[in-house]
Structure formats: structure tokens, C-alpha cells
Amino acid sequence: MNKKKRTWIIIAVIVLLAILWGVKKYNGFVTLEEGVTGQWANVETQYQRRADLIPNLVNTVKGYADFEQETLTQVIEARAKATSVTVDPSNLNPQSLAAFQEAQDGLSSALSRLLVTVERYPDLKANQNFMDLQHQLEGTENRIAVERRKFNEITRGFNTAIRKFPASMVAGITGFGKKGYFKAATGSETAPEVSF
């Protein structure tokens, strides 16, 4: 075998190995991205569960004629806004997640005001249906926190994989981009002030 032919064989083997490596990296990115998309669906499921509980909570509270109508209206409007903001799983960028999170934070705030207002109604607080709904809502909030944490972990894995060199070249060529994270709500780093 002459030297020229051997050189071409070596080059062909190197190119073939590079292509196989690129295909393996691409397939790995697809798997990681599907993990992010699947976890996003889990997050949305928990937010939907919360949104589904709210009408029952509002209807239970409405039964108390002297309950503040403005508070109920704020909860209903916040729920409508939160359920109208959707994020396409293929476009989980920081901006779309921030808009989604802002709508959900508005709903959380309205629910908090509702539950604080309920404190002035001992009969309502003692209502078994209301207590059951409140427990379900608390459980759902915990599930949301867990799913958001898992989403951020899976997203971190994806973002790390597409940024590492030389895999970042494959990610750039094939169009894989960085995904956004859930962030803490503004002001959540400050502990609430409690006074007696």
C-alpha cells in the first residue's frame, strides 16, 4: 500500500469518527432536550392542578355573603391571567419563562391575600370543605416547588451539555440553544416581618 493511499484511509477514518462522535452528541442533546420538555409538562400539570382547585375554593368562600367581593374578583382575574399565559416547550427561553412566572406569581399573591382575609371569618375557617381545599392547595404548592426544582436541575444538565467544548460546536451547528430557569420571585429573599 502506498503512502498516499494510507494517508487517505487515515483521513477517512478520522472524518468518520468525527461524524460518529457528532451524531452521538446530537442524539444526546435530543435526549436531554426531551427531558427538559417532559419536566416542563410536569410543572404545567401542577400549575393546572392549582388552577383547577381555585374555582372550588372561590365557590366555597362565596357562600359567606359578607366576604370581600374585591378579594374574590382579584383571585378570579389572576387565575384567568395565569391560565392564559402558556409557554411553548420548544421555546423555554428566559423571557417566556419570566412571563409565565410573573402570571403565576400574581395568582400566588392573590391566593395569599384571600387566605389572609379568610382569617377574619372563623365560620369559614372551620368549614370542612374549605379546610380540605386549603390542604389540597398547600399540597399542590409543594408539588409545584418540587417540579420547578426538578425542571431547573434537568435544564442545568442540558445547558451544561450544550456549552461544553467541543460539544458546543455540534449544539451550535444543529440549533440547540440554552433553556431558561425558574427564578425566585422578586422580594422572596427578604423574610416577612411578623409582629404581635
**Lowest-confidence segment of 20-29, 57-66, 68-77 by average pLDDT:** 57-66
Residue 16, classified by CB atoms within 10 Å of its CB into exposed (0-12), middle (13-18) or buried (19+), is: exposed
Residue 64 neighbours by CB under 8 Å, 6+ apart: 121, 123, 124
**Lowest-confidence segment of 124-133, 159-168, 185-194 by average pLDDT:** 185-194
Question: pLDDT tier at 71 (50, 70, 90 boundaries)?
Answer: confident
Query: Averaged over 170-175, what is the pLDDT?
Result: 90
Query: Averaged over 156-182, what is the pLDDT?
Result: 91
- For residue 62, pLDDT over 80 is answered with no
pLDDT at 33: 93
Query: Averaged over 21-30, what is the pLDDT?
Result: 93
Cis peptide, bond prior to residue 166, ω within 30 of zero = yes
Residue with cell 472524518: 15
- For residue 124, pLDDT over 90 is answered with no
Instruction: Answer for the pair 113, 74: CB distance below 8 angstroms, yes or no.
Output: yes
Instruction: Answer for the pair 71, 114: CB distance below 8 angstroms, yes or no.
Output: yes
CA distance 164 to 191: 37
73 sits in which H/E element: helix 69-84
CA distance 84 to 95: 16
- Choice between 137 and 63, residue whose per-residue pLDDT is larger: 137
In SS3 terms, 119-147 reads as CCCHHHHHCHHHHHHHHHHHHHHHHHHHH
* Residue 85 DSSP symbol: -
- For residue 194, pLDDT over 90 is answered with no
pTM of structure = 0.78
